Amino acid sequence: MKTDALLKYISNYIDLTEDEEQILVSKIKYRKYLKGQYYGQQGDVCKYSGFLISGCTKMFYSDDNGQEHVVMFSIKDWWTGDLGSYISQNPADYHVQCIEETEVIQFDYDKREELLTEIPKLERFFRIILEKALVASQKRIIRNFSLTAKERYLVFKKLYPTIEQQIPQYLIASYLGITKEFLSKIKSQLIFEQ
Q: Show contacts with a copy of itself in window 102-141 (CB under 8 A).
A: 116, 120-121, 123-124, 126-128, 130-135, 137-141
Examine residue 183 and tell whether it contacts DNA (CB under 7 A). Answer: yes
Residues 57-96 that bind a copy of itself (CB under 8 A): 61, 63, 67, 69, 71-72, 83-84, 87, 93
Backbone angles phi, psi at 27, to 5 degrees: -110, 5
Tell me the C-alpha distance between 3 and 67, whole Å. Answer: 37
Tell me which residues in 118-177 interact with DNA (CB under 7 A).
148-150, 168-170, 177
Q: Strands of 79-80's sheet, edge to edge?
A: 29-33, 102-108, 48-54, 79-80
> In whole angstroms, what is the distance from residue 107 CA to residue 137 CA?
23
Question: Rule CB under 8 A: is residue 169 a binding residue for a copy of itself?
Answer: no
> Of a copy of itself, DNA, none, which one does residue 163 interact with (CB within 5 to 8 Å by kind)?
none
Q: At how many degrees (to 10) do helices 149-159 and 121-146 cross?
A: 150
- Contact between 181 and DNA by CB under 7 A: the answer reads yes
Supply the minimum distance, in Å, between the C-beta of residue 168 and DNA: 4
